[in-house]
A and B are shown apart, each in its own frame.
Chain A
């Protein structure tokens, strides 16, 4: 029930983008629309300095497209859950490669408009995940879904700090590369 609600919500959120695409039909098609079009609901939209798109100046992904990039997982302690949890999702590095990210910083924007800046260097230094699942189940909006940016906090003591907790945005639906 909750999941469905969430989905419908994304659908309406992506309306703006869809309208933008409608406008694009009148203009010549973008030269480098190399990414396939999403078939399901769009859960992540990436804009900014990217070289590969599938909409006007944006790369949009449904859950299947993200999962097709290859899933990774780790188990870690977090300040948000009493026990260690297992996150499963797409390595952030893979998503950056997929869209041909050119910048150095990603601004992750959450549903509640919380936004945080993450250096792209983090994605290679730490195996940062765009987590879709927690302990084997997809995360609904009520549990920090659809996407939760998580670090493997237990691999480096420095990650258990306010700075990295701050970068760990949840309910993320948009990324802006700059």
Chain B
């Protein structure tokens, strides 16, 4: 059947081949025509270009016109000679001259040079132009302009002829171009007719081709229909088979999936059991083991055999007790609790701790089939961490003493038990000089000192009393029940014990303590009030010279308020320039001459008036202002003294803070350099507290100051720690005997003896002694007898402002005080 179709189709195929060949021939014909058309268009374009050639006759006409205009200009110059007319003549010469190159170039040039007669006209044009230009300089002479007009007139006729010739030539060109265009037009027309005929041929062939193709298409369609019937039968059978297969496949897949799910669950369960952080044990309704995880084995140290399924739970517990990972009593409690929950089919959790402090947490849950599951966890570390955190939150990290929070709780608790005649007392403590220790010896030393203080403090109190560190160098003691006498006795004990020197890392450290005491002697006393009162008492203790204690009294409150007000003002005092220096004379006892003066700081407060130094210097030290104030005083005193034209010395006090923390050596040398004061006229007064710390730095600083040429005096000698050892260790020029000895020198023999021995010791060491606070003639006589070399005090003169001091320095000054 297919073979027959093949034969039948052989003829159309040959016909199609013929058509294809004919089409190729036609397309080739069209292509050739296109090329030819394109050539024709190029030709046509060229023809058009010819018609747009430059207009020769216009150009030559322009030349005639310009020459005529030139003649007109010349004529008007001849009639009315003038500057403007002359310029016009020159301009038109230029214009006419510019025309010549135009006539020689392009199409016009071609046209003119093509004929010798035309060329002659152009030559004549040039000749006339040259002649005319030659006459231009004489233009103003009479008749010249008219001669130039005549010269140019010569060109009028030839140029007009040339224009006419150009016009005629232009006409000829146009006719030629039109003829050419007409020829092109006919060529186009023939070509178009040819193309129309070819197109008709194309249409006929395409029609034939179409007919052949549709016949072939019909045959193919029929064949396709037969095939389609056969294939649909096959497809039906195939679909039935496919459905049956799919069904069996899906059944298979369900089975496989279930298998995988079961496996996965098993694996997950296993992984969960093995990896859980808690130990797990599952028991059945007959109290036999179902499963225990590996964590369980590790926690209780039992072997795998005893945790096999079906082992009685009781046996398991016996094995756990035997291993002893946790104490027996704790395990018994666990077993007991679980037995109880099994009976009740209840749930519960429990934490037990054994005698070694090991803690075990248990959580028990029943299962529906009478079995149960329980988890166990070792919470020993957790519990101790919790205890540690609680401790850290309520204790000071450095000293392990209760901190402010815990102390506050204890204080409040103590206050609630106030009734029944129990009287709590609060002591607030503040270390003296701690800042200096910290700053000069370093924080590690400071910290070690605080720890040592905490230890001594704890040793002072009873079991029930509480010692706390409130922060920095502040400590507090709460006496749960104490009489005033007990409290004062404790304060004394503490002051004495804490004031003893400390040995820290082989260094000698000295500090003291000031204590403020408040008693909860009223039923409505709150913790805040009690604390505030103790703080006020502490202020008083510090103001009283430190190393002592004060009990709160109602009137203190006002005083503390006043101190706070001073504090506020003092911060501003430097900036407001309220500080002044007063000078107190120092007299040589033998000669009665003025040998020096001590610079004393005064604060001229706008409202309070003149504030004495003992009222504000301690506050300035507390507030940390003393370094800046001391520096100012040093500069001021040096500057003042430099102006005095005498050998009188000036003494300036150095505060311990300033001495130990400040860069005192550069400051002093700076003050000397700026003022120009001779170093030998400057005396620095330091107190014993500077020497309290056994510190190499102190010695180094003192030696450095001595090297500057400055003199050093030990102030207030005899008070405080007064060690004669200082005199041996440190390089002093002068000792100032404290006023307390001088004041009682006449009444108390011991005072006289002390003054006497200090003076003789000093003289042996080659030091000067100054008696301070000399107020009467009697005192003056006695200190002189005791061997003091100099005196200072109201008897000789009170501290004076700079102006009065300056007056004193001049004639008659030696008679001051009647010495």
Any B CB within 8 A of the CB of A112: yes
Any A CB within 8 A of the CB of B69: yes
Selected contact of B106 from candidates A5, A79, A170, CB within 8 Å = A79
Any B CB within 8 A of the CB of A63: no
Contact indicator B91/A9 (Cβ below 8 Å)? yes
Q: Which of A18-26, A36-44, A158-166 faces chain B? A: A158-166
Q: Which of B93-101, B156-164, B728-736 faces chain A? A: B93-101
- Expressed in whole angstroms, the Cα–Cα distance for A141 and B98 within the complex equals 7
Within 8 A of A (CB), among B49-79: 49, 52-55, 62, 65-66, 69
Selected contact of A79 from candidates B65, B98, B105, CB within 8 Å = B105
Contact indicator A162/B54 (Cβ below 8 Å)? yes
- Expressed in whole angstroms, the Cα–Cα distance for A160 and B54 within the complex equals 9
- Expressed in whole angstroms, the Cα–Cα distance for A12 and B82 within the complex equals 12
Contact indicator A79/B107 (Cβ below 8 Å)? yes
- Expressed in whole angstroms, the Cα–Cα distance for A6 and B98 within the complex equals 12
Interface string of B188-231 (1 = CB under 8 A from A): 00000000000000000000000000000000000000000000
- Expressed in whole angstroms, the Cα–Cα distance for A24 and B90 within the complex equals 31
What residue in chain A is nearest B69 (Cβ atoms)?
A: A112
Contact indicator A80/B91 (Cβ below 8 Å)? no
- Distance of B32 from chain A, by nearest CB (Å): 27
Contact indicator A171/B95 (Cβ below 8 Å)? yes
Any A CB within 8 A of the CB of B88: yes
Contact indicator B105/A81 (Cβ below 8 Å)? yes
- Distance of B752 from chain A, by nearest CB (Å): 108
Within 8 A of B (CB), among A129-174: 140-144, 160-163, 165, 170-171
Chain B residues with CB below 8 A from A170, complex form = 98
Contact indicator A141/B53 (Cβ below 8 Å)? no
Contact indicator B66/A112 (Cβ below 8 Å)? yes
- Expressed in whole angstroms, the Cα–Cα distance for A161 and B49 within the complex equals 7
- Distance of B502 from chain A, by nearest CB (Å): 92
- Expressed in whole angstroms, the Cα–Cα distance for A153 and B65 within the complex equals 28
- Distance of A160 from chain B, by nearest CB (Å): 7
Contact indicator A144/B98 (Cβ below 8 Å)? yes
- Expressed in whole angstroms, the Cα–Cα distance for A90 and B778 within the complex equals 116
Chain B residues with CB below 8 A from A160, complex form = 49, 52
Residue among B69, B83, B87 with most chain A CB within 10 A: B87
Contact indicator B90/A9 (Cβ below 8 Å)? yes
What residue in chain A is nearest B98 (Cβ atoms)?
A: A142
Chain A residues with CB below 8 A from B52, complex form = 160-163
- Distance of B527 from chain A, by nearest CB (Å): 87
Chain A residues with CB below 8 A from B98, complex form = 141-144, 170-171
Q: Size of chain A's interface in residues, with CB distance under 8 A?
A: 27
Any B CB within 8 A of the CB of A96: no
Selected contact of A141 from candidates B62, B88, B95, CB within 8 Å = B95
Contact indicator B94/A162 (Cβ below 8 Å)? no
Contact indicator A6/B55 (Cβ below 8 Å)? no
Q: Given that A12-B87, A80-B106 are contacting pairs, would A142 and B54 also be in contact in the complex, using a CB cutoff of 8 Å?
A: no
Within 8 A of B (CB), among A63-80: 78-80
What residue in chain B is nearest A6 (Cβ atoms)?
A: B94
- Distance of B140 from chain A, by nearest CB (Å): 16
Selected contact of B94 from candidates A2, A80, A82, CB within 8 Å = A2
Q: Size of chain B's interface in residues, with CB distance under 8 A?
A: 24
Contact indicator B105/A111 (Cβ below 8 Å)? no
Contact indicator A82/B105 (Cβ below 8 Å)? yes
Any A CB within 8 A of the CB of B84: yes
Chain B residues with CB below 8 A from A114, complex form = 62
Chain B residues with CB below 8 A from A8, complex form = 87, 90
Any A CB within 8 A of the CB of B102: yes
Within 8 A of B (CB), among A1-60: 2, 5-6, 8-9, 12, 15
Chain A residues with CB below 8 A from B101, complex form = 80-81, 143
What residue in chain B is nearest A5 (Cβ atoms)?
A: B90
- Expressed in whole angstroms, the Cα–Cα distance for A12 and B87 within the complex equals 8
Q: Given that A79-B107, A141-B94, A142-B94 are contacting pairs, would A162 and B55 also be in contact in the complex, using a CB cutoff of 8 Å?
A: yes
Chain A residues with CB below 8 A from B69, complex form = 112
Chain A residues with CB below 8 A from B87, complex form = 5, 8-9, 12
Q: Given that A80-B102, A80-B106, A82-B105 are contacting pairs, would A111 and B91 also be in contact in the complex, using a CB cutoff of 8 Å?
A: yes
Interface string of B746-772 (1 = CB under 8 A from A): 000000000000000000000000000
Within 8 A of B (CB), among A102-123: 111-112, 114
What residue in chain A is nearest B85 (Cβ atoms)?
A: A12
Contact indicator A112/B105 (Cβ below 8 Å)? no
- Distance of A149 from chain B, by nearest CB (Å): 15
Interface string of B89-129 (1 = CB under 8 A from A): 01100110110011001110000000000000000000000
Contact indicator A112/B95 (Cβ below 8 Å)? yes
Residue among B54, B88, B107 with most chain A CB within 10 A: B54
- Expressed in whole angstroms, the Cα–Cα distance for A80 and B62 within the complex equals 15
What residue in chain A is nearest B45 (Cβ atoms)?
A: A157
Q: Given that A12-B84, A165-B54 are contacting pairs, would A141 and B91 also be in contact in the complex, using a CB cutoff of 8 Å?
A: yes
- Expressed in whole angstroms, the Cα–Cα distance for A165 and B102 within the complex equals 13
Selected contact of B54 from candidates A5, A6, A79, A141, CB within 8 Å = A79
Chain B residues with CB below 8 A from A12, complex form = 83-84, 87-88
Chain A residues with CB below 8 A from B102, complex form = 80
What residue in chain B is nearest A158 (Cβ atoms)?
A: B52
Chain A residues with CB below 8 A from B91, complex form = 5-6, 9, 111, 141
- Distance of B102 from chain A, by nearest CB (Å): 6
Residue among A12, A112, A162 with most chain B CB within 10 A: A112
- Expressed in whole angstroms, the Cα–Cα distance for A76 and B106 within the complex equals 14
- Expressed in whole angstroms, the Cα–Cα distance for A81 and B53 within the complex equals 15
Chain B residues with CB below 8 A from A165, complex form = 54
Residue among A8, A79, A161, A171 with most chain B CB within 10 A: A79
Contact indicator A9/B97 (Cβ below 8 Å)? no
- Distance of A162 from chain B, by nearest CB (Å): 5
What residue in chain A is nearest B91 (Cβ atoms)?
A: A9
- Expressed in whole angstroms, the Cα–Cα distance for A8 and B93 within the complex equals 14
- Expressed in whole angstroms, the Cα–Cα distance for A140 and B91 within the complex equals 11
- Expressed in whole angstroms, the Cα–Cα distance for A62 and B438 within the complex equals 89
What residue in chain A is nearest B109 (Cβ atoms)?
A: A82
Contact indicator A5/B62 (Cβ below 8 Å)? no
What residue in chain B is nearest A111 (Cβ atoms)?
A: B95
- Expressed in whole angstroms, the Cα–Cα distance for A82 and B108 within the complex equals 12
- Distance of A85 from chain B, by nearest CB (Å): 11
- Expressed in whole angstroms, the Cα–Cα distance for A170 and B95 within the complex equals 10
- Distance of A106 from chain B, by nearest CB (Å): 21
- Distance of A99 from chain B, by nearest CB (Å): 25
Residue among A9, A78, A143 with most chain B CB within 10 A: A9
Chain B residues with CB below 8 A from A144, complex form = 98
- Distance of B68 from chain A, by nearest CB (Å): 11
Q: Given that A79-B106, A160-B49, A162-B54 are contacting pairs, would A112 and B62 also be in contact in the complex, using a CB cutoff of 8 Å?
A: yes
Selected contact of B88 from candidates A9, A163, A171, CB within 8 Å = A9
- Expressed in whole angstroms, the Cα–Cα distance for A161 and B48 within the complex equals 10
Chain B residues with CB below 8 A from A78, complex form = 106
- Distance of B59 from chain A, by nearest CB (Å): 10
Contact indicator A162/B90 (Cβ below 8 Å)? no
- Expressed in whole angstroms, the Cα–Cα distance for A171 and B91 within the complex equals 11
Chain B residues with CB below 8 A from A5, complex form = 87, 90-91, 94
Chain B residues with CB below 8 A from A161, complex form = 49, 52
Chain B residues with CB below 8 A from A163, complex form = 52
Residue among B52, B87, B98 with most chain A CB within 10 A: B98
Contact indicator A162/B53 (Cβ below 8 Å)? yes
Chain A residues with CB below 8 A from B49, complex form = 160-161
13 contacts between A and B (CB under 8 A): A6-B94, A8-B90, A12-B88, A78-B106, A79-B105, A80-B101, A81-B101, A81-B105, A114-B62, A141-B98, A142-B97, A161-B52, A171-B98
Sample of 8 further A-B pairs with CB below 8 A, known A79-B107, A81-B105, A112-B69: A6-B91, A8-B87, A112-B65, A112-B66, A143-B98, A144-B98, A162-B53, A171-B95
**Which 5 interchain pairs have the tightest Cβ spacing?**
A79-B106, A141-B94, A9-B91, A161-B52, A142-B98
Name A's B-contacting residues (CB within 8 A). Answer: 2, 5-6, 8-9, 12, 15, 78-82, 111-112, 114, 140-144, 160-163, 165, 170-171
